[in-house]
Copies of this chain bind each other. A is one copy, B any other.
Amino acid sequence: MPGEFDIIQRYFAPLAGPDGLALKDDASVSAVPSGYDLVVTKDVLNEGVHFRAEDPIDLVAFKAIAVSVSDCCSKGATPKHYWVGLSLPSEPTNQWLQNFCHGLDVAQQEFGCCLSGGDTTKTLGPLAISVTVAGFVPTGQMIKRSGAKVRDSVYVTGELGNAALGLEALLAGVDCPSDLQKAYQAPVPPCAFGQQLHGIASASADISDGLGADARHIADASGVLIELFQPKLPIGTNARAIINESPDLASKIWSGGDDYQILFTASESAEPEIQQIAQENKVLVTKIGVIKQGTGVQLLDHNQEIVQVTSGGYEHF
């Protein structure tokens, strides 16, 4: 069984970028490109809450990075560094460490960032993984939640509800379409696309709490009303089949968390540029609504009637 420092040197050090000093120092040190701001996001994933004990650990590791990268790139920033705080309930086996680090490796290749440091500790509870991601965005250009303007269009990347419906299927023990299982276990936020949105999007957020809740975050921060059109919401074939069979699961499109797609607003004139960047990055981008004067979020059906929605999204307490 390897000791704490052995674990770091054998398994984690090979993932470290030059700024991580081979994980042999007390800190990482990074040059910051001139003309850029530093964007930092932090997430904690707890076993039994954010992932299931039976989820493959390489996918859990991948997801731990993906969820923080998602926040970073939804702000128009390019992720460069990440730090992992690991709370381990017991001495990990070599196999477990290998699988965990494989997941980190796949994530850093997918998202273009490097392990720069962290902390490996023991816990009396279940496994917990905390991840901090740092990225850079041209000075003053981070896309905030607060920039949406009346008459802006509202866009979303990818498809909605896949992760939440995938989790439902896994929890129910029924056959889970592989794209939905992947959306829950190993979401791939549209990182390259998001990085190019600075200077184009007026406001944005990643969808982690659910479309309704994250739209409300933007509406509240911007002091506007967000009107979303139900028939426009991008729903995949497998998700639609599940909803047709269990109509009560339709609410997952609105309130299911864990999508890690980008919800953003932009002026009408930006549409050609947005679609061009989407095409270049092979990302589906759908216009799903419009910004109006007012407050809150409204969902309209095909008759322009307000749809009553209940759950606001995921909250821990």
Contacts and interface: CB of A to CB of B under 8 A. Distances in A.
B38 A71 contact: no
Interface in A79-135: 81, 83-89, 91-92, 116-126, 128, 130, 132, 134
A21 B317 contact: no
A122 B316 contact: yes
Interface stretch (A23-31, A177-185, A296-304): A23-31
Interface string A256-290: 00000000000000000000000000000000000
Contact of A47 (B84, B124, B146, B205): B124
Interface residues of A, number: 75
Contacts of A84: 42
A98 to B, nearest CB: 16
B315 A44 contact: no
B74 A134 contact: no
Nearest to A204: B26
Interface in A25-50: 25-32, 34, 36-50
Interface of A: 1-5, 7, 21, 24-32, 34, 36-50, 71-72, 74-75, 77, 81, 83-89, 91-92, 116-126, 128, 130, 132, 134, 137, 139, 142, 144-146, 205-206, 217, 221, 315-317
7 contacts: A29-B39, A29-B142, A42-B130, A45-B121, A46-B125, A125-B126, A134-B134
